[in-house]
Amino acid sequence: MKQIGQKGFSLVELLVTIGIIAVVAAIAIPQLQRYATNSRLKSAARDIMGDVFLYKERAIAENRMYRIAFNINPANTYTIEQCNNTGSSCTAGYSVIQTKTPTTFGNDIRITNAAFGANSTINFQTRGTTEAGNVALTNGRNSTATITTNITGRTGVQFNLQ
């Protein structure tokens, strides 16, 4: 029992406080892990969307065709390539600019599908047009991100978070 003028906490008050903190932490930590896992999926999807936007714009600005080739299995990568000549046709072939992987955002992120017409490559014409299609990403929680592109190069993403 505290007497008037005594300062501090009793052992019971301290144990109750520690118990409350433990219960709150037990509830909050799994939610924070889920948030972090899904946040990495969102970052990977936005990175791909940014690349689609960037190379569409570069195709227009440089009068040069670009493409992004998605390598689903087993590589889980995508390669950004530019045409070796300028103009609206690519007769000189393509050169690799960069190869990227969504696992830079999290080891559990996978490209599960890429469909642009009959293949898994999105081509950027010098007018800024592309093939309509989509790319799907999945993480370890089975959350998905589907990046969709229409023929004008407009890109959006839809998330299904678990």
Q: What is the pLDDT of residues 7-52, one digit of tens each?
A: 777 888 889 899 999 888 888 888 778 888 899 999 999 999 999 9
Contact 151, 145 (CB under 8 A): no
pLDDT in tens, 56-103: 999 999 999 999 999 988 889 999 999 999 988 888 899 999 999 998
pLDDT of residue 10: 86
| pTM (predicted TM-score) | 0.82
Q: What's the pLDDT score for residue 1? A: 55
Specify the fold of 11-160: minor pseudopilin epsh fold (3.55.40)
56 token code pair: 């569409």
Residue-range domain boundaries for the chain: 11-160
pLDDT digits (tens, 9 = 90+) for 108-128: 999 999 999 888 999 999 998
- The model's confidence at residue 3, banded by pLDDT at 50, 70 and 90, is low
pLDDT value of residue 53? 94
Q: Which residues partner with 148 through β-bridges?
A: 134, 156
Q: Residue 93 carries which side chain, given as an amino acid letter?
A: G
Spatial separation of the C-alpha atoms in residues 76 and 66, rounded to whole Å: 20
